[in-house]
Amino acid sequence: MAHSHLAEMLDLDADVLHQYHHDLITWISSLTPDRPLIIDVGAGTGTGALALARRLPDAQVVAVDVSEPMLEHLQHKAHELGVADRIRTVQADLDQTWPALGPADLAWASASLHHMADPDHTLAQVFAALRPGGVFTVIELDSFPCFLPDEAGAALEERCHAVLAEKRAEAGMHIGADWGLLLAKAGFTVEAERRFDIALQAPLPAAAGRYAQVSFQRMRDGLEGRIDAGDLAALDAISAEILDRDDLTVRATRTVWLARRPRTQ
């Protein structure tokens, strides 16, 4: 169930935050040469790999992830979208030594680097997989989506997100890391840092209610035993009725770093 919820949430994120994803893909695609080779680092369900393949019809994309079910999901979607002939999936543990993937013109890592055990190791592997002059796009979450506009609901979300942030820190996850500094340390030249503040109001995309519901269900699963029974009951109640609400908003923040392997190396 956890994998199913995560896969669905990743797909819903691309659907509901369509304008953000469109703007990001348009920007990054403008930086690629003709016939680029692209590596999607920690591809998940392939939001980046599929969007880049569709935007760049002469691109070849290598989607790398440790999860075989995620890659199977990605392959199924690639066939549906007619880009399967240009997307190759590679199952690999990105915390270990990588298989030969490059030399690539673009590497893309969307909300994946914070999962790595040793970010310095991962960045060194990306650096080695890029051609001199190749671009590395890092997208990370500054905040997880929030949906409730009322004061009590917003306060509940804030409490839950604070507890989950503590839990992720205890697990050694690197949310909030200074990726610009880490990229420079790895030898990249950081050319841009751009923050996307996403705030969607009604009327929302049709999938927004389900996006909120899955987000609350995943939040609730992660909070068992970490918050009081009253807040857990409130999360259950919200999940049960959220599809019928017409007052939801979608608020999230993402930061994008654009880095380049120097051409002289």
pLDDT in tens, 149-192: 999 999 999 999 999 888 888 887 788 889 999 999 999 999 99
What's the confidence (pLDDT) of residue 2?
46
- β-strand partners of 260: 135, 189
Residues 115, 132: Cα–Cα separation, whole Å: 26
Q: Is the pLDDT of residue 265 over 70?
A: no
User: In 3-state terms, the chain is what percent helix, strand and coil (to 5)?
Assistant: 50, 25, 30
DSSP H/E element including 167? helix 151-170
Whether the CB-CB separation of 161 and 253 falls below 8 Å is answered with: no
> By three-state DSSP, how is residue 224 classified?
coil
pTM: 0.91
User: What's the chain's average pLDDT?
Assistant: 92
> What span, in angstroms and rounded, lies between the C-alpha atoms of 232 and 219?
10
The pLDDT tens digits of the residues spanning 112-145 come to 998 898 999 999 999 999 999 999 999 998 878 9
Q: What percent of the chain has pLDDT over 90?
A: 78
Q: Mapping DSSP to helix (H, G, I), strand (E, B) and coil, where does residue 67 land?
A: coil
4 has pLDDT over 60: no
In this predicted structure, what is the pLDDT of residue 1?
A: 40
| Contact residues for 70 (Cβ-Cβ < 8 A; gap 6+) | 3, 7, 43, 44, 45
Cα–chain-centroid distance for residue 96?
A: 21
Query: How far is 105 from 90, CA to CA, in rounded Å?
Result: 18
Q: Which pair of structure tokens corresponds to residue 102? A: 């490059």
pLDDT in tens, 240-260: 999 999 999 999 999 999 999
Kindly list the strands in the beta sheet with 87-91, ordered across the sheet, starting from the edge strand earlier in the chain: 87-91, 60-65, 37-41, 104-110, 130-146, 250-260, 189-200
State pLDDT tens for residues 223-243.
Answer: 888 888 999 999 999 999 999
